[in-house]
Amino acid sequence: MGKRSTSTEKRLRWFDDGAPMLRLVANRLGIGDWLPIHEEYYACPCCLMAYNRAAVFAGVLTEEHVPAAVVGGRGLLLTCKNCNSNAGRDFDAHAGTRLQADDFARGKVTDRTLPATSYVDGIPLRGTVRMTRDGIQMFGVPKQNDPKTMAAHFAALDAYAQSGITPNHSFTVHTRYDEKRARYSWIRSAYLAAFAALGWSYIFQDVMEPYREQLKQPDTQLVPTYIGNDRSASSSLRRILLVTEPDDLRCVAVNLGTHTIFLPGIPPWRPQTCDELVQAFSRYRGDDERLNGEISGKEVSWPRWPTYLLDRPPAPNHPEHPMNSDRCFPR
Ligand SMILES: [Zn+2]
């Protein structure tokens, strides 16, 4: 028998934690016969397809990063291979490119190069740009340029260098991404973080169904793409807040860096649908996607590992449920 990799060990532990919780919640909701009784099953939180433990070894249940790996996320839970790779292509790639463009525009020094065209007196040179400590570095890529145009570009630069006059220089960075798809990547990550913290009981609420449907239909807008944005927030900020104030904004607010994603709330209040939430937020929405006024509530510890807080017995509305204990809420 071969030695199990640490990746397999981790995924097995995620399976062994999540499967009994799924069974417990399915029984509580009266849908227990959905799962075969002779072995444990874990459902992909995105598509709700249930898989047995062998799916971990087969690589069908995969490590999912929250937020997406391309925007600096870390492995947090299991999703199915299909959902994981589809999201990478349909959503996360867009969030990654958008972040690179944002970083560049803000002058953040990174080792990434971006495709760009540089102009001297309007004469183009195609290549790449990179933000360095000393400023922007432009590199021409010969095979992307007509040799005559490239020669004219450098001749114009040389002429400026010899005359000592500051060149008439500009450049355009070519980053292509779909803003909606980039936003769905962040919304999907928030959904998964809320699942990891709160559990199956949270995502089995009817109001969560449109989010899963949206992930299956990247070309159709089913869920509003509203995301709060606070440019002053640290990119490493991770927070889950069960919002109780203002009263009409009761929801689950997930902070991922500068982004705040607002998801439906939890019992005992009736959770708002995604459309109702966006309606409510339109009353508080300021310029530049910042919120006017403060939101407050109970903070849930950011899950380093799925914690399934709402799933743990006794049932969530019971006074002794862990969600009602202050121990769960560090602040
Ligand atoms: Zn799936």
Give the distance (Å) from ligand 1 centre to CA of residue 86. Answer: 9
Handedness of CA 90, 93, 96, 101 (dihedral sign): negative
How far apart are alpha carbons 102 and 94 in whole angstroms? 12
- Residue 256: Cβ-neighbour burial (10 angstroms; 0-12, 13-18, 19+): buried
232-240, Cβ contacts within 8 angstroms, sequence gap of 24 or more: 233/257, 233/258, 235/72, 236/72, 238/193, 238/302, 239/299, 239/302, 240/193, 240/194, 240/197, 240/299, 240/300, 240/301, 240/302, 240/303
Instruction: Work out the percent of the chain whose per-residue pLDDT is above 90.
Output: 75
* Predicted confidence (pLDDT) per residue in 230-249, tens digit: 888 998 999 999 999 999 99
How far away, in angstroms, is 82 Cα from ligand 1 center? 6
Q: What is the pLDDT of residue 320?
A: 63
Between the CA of 264 and the centroid of ligand 1 the distance, in Å, is: 21
CA of 319 to the centre of ligand 1 (A): 34
> Distance, CA 220 to ligand 1 centroid (Å)?
19
Query: How much distance in Å is there from the Cα of 80 to the middle of ligand 1?
Result: 4
**Which H or E run contains 23?**
helix 6-28
> What is the predicted pLDDT for the residue at 286?
76
pLDDT tens-digit map of 310-331: 998 776 666 666 565 544 443 3
Residues 282-310 have pLDDT tens digits of 888 877 778 888 899 999 999 999 999 99
Q: 127-136 pLDDT, tens per residue?
A: 999 999 998 8
Ligand 1 mean position, distance from CA 79 (Å): 6
pLDDT value for 328: 45
- Count CB atoms within 10 A of the CB of residue 248: 14
Start-to-end Cα distance in the chain: 47
Secondary structure of residue 255 in the 3-state scheme: strand
C-alpha of residue 15 to centroid of ligand 1, in Å: 14
pTM for the predicted model, two decimal places: 0.88
Q: Is 73 helix (H, G, I), strand (E, B) or coil?
A: coil
Distance 87 CA to ligand 1 centre (A): 10
Tell me how far the alpha carbon of residue 18 lies from the centroid of ligand 1, in angstroms: 15
User: SS3 breakdown of the chain: % helix, strand, coil, rounded to 5?
Assistant: 40, 20, 35
Residue in the block written with tokens 């029984």: 27
